[in-house]
Structure 1
Amino acid sequence: MSYLHSMTCFTEGIKVLAPVKWRSLDGMVGVFWDAEGQAGARGYYLSPDPRIVIFFNDVSPFIRMTNHEGGMTGYSRPMTRAVYVPAGVPLWTGFTATHRFSHLDLHLHRDRLLRFLSPSVGASAALAALRRPVEIQDTAAIETLAGLLVGEVSAPTKHAVFAESLVAGIVAGLLDIPDHGAEQPNGRLTQAQMNRLMSRLGSCNGNRLSVADMAQTVGLSESWFANVFKQTTGKTPLQWQLGKRIDLAQKLLVESELTIADIAAQLGFSDQAHLTKAFRQVVGGTPAAWRRMQRIV
């Protein structure tokens, strides 16, 4: 049965460069765009259904995104090559420079996704996967499938089942579906979950994440996450995160001429004194003394 999606959408400073191509399938719609955004262009998107966006060129230096209204200054992160946005999650985007881009939008009916995933992973795991956002830069085989799908969206040559199978492959390759056979024993986080945390922290440019944010990233409740994180790393989530932020501060102290106050501001510390206190707690000395020592060495 064909399906028509609905989405609240507002854009400013983005122009379409070629006719939009789209195709309605069983519980899904594929839409291919070729467009250009001007410096300062922006967009807002909210859909009652899950959706996937796959870019065919690297947009991370030019487009930033956030799920917080007014969050382009404090909560934004670079747009990745492929994004899964769960149903009802708002997305704001902003262009830092003029850039031409092309992307495939997949609008997916929730029940269609559950019907596809549940027989293989179970209804509970399928529901959990649909609630978890995904943002990846290395699209690998997903981009190949997306390219084939663009052909079937733009100028169909085969039965709709072929296009639907391509969508199924993209969903299976992109969504965060747990591989129970790869889970680590004794209530520990998997390496894939730790990788997602590292990626999320990196996308925040060193700014602090709450424990709730970290738990959501790996698809666990906050209380359960805090417990298994300590078993996995030997540290609380905030202790681990502070260590990573101090690592980034050390990198900036060595590789840049930024003042300590500027580094504190860039990494989300309240002021230089706050960074200095945290730095001393982790490293054992002040940022200024540590920077002098590195330059002597």
Structure 2
Amino acid sequence: MSFQHRFVGQTDGITPTVPARWRALDGVTSVFWEAQGGRGAQGYYLSDQPRILVFFNDVSSIRLTNDDGGLARGGRPLPRVLYVPAGLPMWTRFTAAHSFSHLDIHLHSERLLKLLAPALGRSAALAMLDRPAESPASPTVEALAGLLAQETRSPDRHALHAEALVAGLVTGLLDLEEAETGRVEARLTQAQMRKLEGAFRMAGGRSLTVAEMAEAIGLSESWFSHLFKNATGTTPLQWQLRQRVDLAQSLLCSSGLNVAEIADRLGFTDQAHLTRVFRQMTGETPVAWRRARHGEGPT
């Protein structure tokens, strides 16, 4: 399969240290980069086809976002392994001077469907292609990527060998087990939900904006809201209210704070606001809920 794609790569302060090496395969272009960037260096990347990126060394000094303007809010650490769906933009910024090497694997969507659809079905495979994925570099991924990098720099085997390595990286990175359950809608992954829960805890239970929630996992607001609803069945606001009521219940059980103090700690407007939301979620007021479980306590 011939492979043509439209790729935008704009960098400022990032320079290759050796010429890029690339290899054209069946529906795949593999590119091996060695480069360096100074503190404050930035990049913008957008492709009309999916990509997999594997970094071979520490990249903790590089920040990443998929939301225009997200770097102004700090972005998030760049993971060592990423699957980037077609049309999902990336912005990066260096917080310190850094040298790095990585594989940039451009994948034709039809080539991926040809690989995944026989096992998952076409609709599930299409949904998988729309879902970003990130992970640390596991030993298996590092081994496969290292072999593919070698075949990209200095090919010495048939192209089928390199294509099999690409297939191994795809199936090792994408969450195929979830697709097999029949949940085929594009949705947030479990890892992304854990990041979101962590961001919520870091905020001390106070409400986050949709922009802040999207930035925490590196998505645009519109795409985040779509994936979030598919993953949870609720809106971001409804999900946060449930999380905040859960925290209120924990504080009612474990602290001597009265309801007004708990409302203030969790960012509710006042005690009446917390009481109204709490009753909607649990069927009881905070005072009644605490009394039913612990007897008399501060109100």
TM-score, L = length of structure 1: 0.70
- Compute the displacement of 1:140 (Å): 3.0
Equivalent residue, structure 2, for 1:288: none
Equivalent residue, structure 1, for 2:267: 278
**SS of the residue 1:144 aligns to:** helix
Q: Distance in 2 between matches of 1:103 and 1:244?
A: 42
1:25 equivalenced with 2:21 (yes/no): no
Equivalent residue, structure 1, for 2:94: 95
**SS of the residue 1:196 aligns to:** helix
Equivalent residue, structure 2, for 1:47: 47
Equivalent residue, structure 2, for 1:127: 126
Q: Is the contact made by 2:53 and 2:103 (CA closer than 8 Å) also made in structure 1?
A: yes
- Compute the displacement of 1:228 (Å): 8.0
- Compute the displacement of 1:202 (Å): 4.3
**SS of the residue 1:57 aligns to:** coil
| Structure 1 residues 126-275: aligned runs within 5 Å | 126-179=125-178, 193-202=189-198, 206=202, 208=208, 210=210, 222=229, 224-227=230-233, 237-239=239-241, 242=244
The Cα offsets for residues 134-153 of structure 1, whole Å up to 9 and x where unpaired, read as: 11124331111000000110
Equivalent residue, structure 2, for 1:232: none
Q: Is the contact made by 1:82 and 1:139 (CA closer than 8 Å) also made in structure 2?
A: no
Equivalent residue, structure 1, for 2:79: 80
Q: Is the contact made by 1:114 and 1:127 (CA closer than 8 Å) also made in structure 2?
A: yes
Distance 1:13 1:122, change over 3 A: same
Q: Is the contact made by 2:120 and 2:179 (CA closer than 8 Å) also made in structure 1?
A: no
Q: Distance in 1 between matches of 2:202 and 2:174?
A: 26
**SS of the residue 2:105 aligns to:** strand
Q: Distance in 1 between matches of 2:87 and 2:52?
A: 13
Which one-letter code corresponds to 1:145 in the other structure?
L
Structure 2: gaps (5+ residues): 249-262, 279-285, 287-299
The Cα offsets for residues 119-176 of structure 1, whole Å up to 9 and x where unpaired, read as: 0111111111100011112433111100000011011111000000000000001123
Q: Distance in 2 between matches of 1:45 and 1:205?
A: 31
Equivalent residue, structure 2, for 1:294: none
**SS of the residue 2:73 aligns to:** coil
Q: Distance in 2 between matches of 1:123 and 1:4?
A: 22
The Cα offsets for residues 155-206 of structure 1, whole Å up to 9 and x where unpaired, read as: 111100000000000000112324466789xxxxxxx944431135547994
Paired-residue identity, %: 42
Query: What is the RMSD computed on CA atoms of the aligned residues?
Result: 3.7
- Compute the displacement of 1:9 (Å): 1.2
Q: Distance in 2 between matches of 1:181 and 1:48?
A: 26
Structure 1: gaps (5+ residues): 185-191, 230-234, 247-273, 285-297
- Compute the displacement of 1:67 (Å): 1.1
Q: Distance in 2 between matches of 1:12 and 1:245?
A: 44
Which one-letter code corresponds to 2:142 in the other structure?
E
- Compute the displacement of 1:68 (Å): 1.3
Q: Distance in 1 between matches of 2:89 and 2:33?
A: 20
User: Greater Rg, structure 1 or structure 2?
Assistant: 2
Q: Distance in 2 between matches of 1:180 and 1:125?
A: 6
- Compute the displacement of 1:71 (Å): 1.4
Q: More deviation in 152-161 or 208-217?
A: 208-217
The Cα offsets for residues 56-89 of structure 1, whole Å up to 9 and x where unpaired, read as: 01202x1011111121022611100011111011
**SS of the residue 1:88 aligns to:** coil
Which one-letter code corresponds to 2:46 in the other structure?
L
Distance 1:243 1:92, change over 3 A: farther
Q: Distance in 1 between matches of 2:173 and 2:6?
A: 22
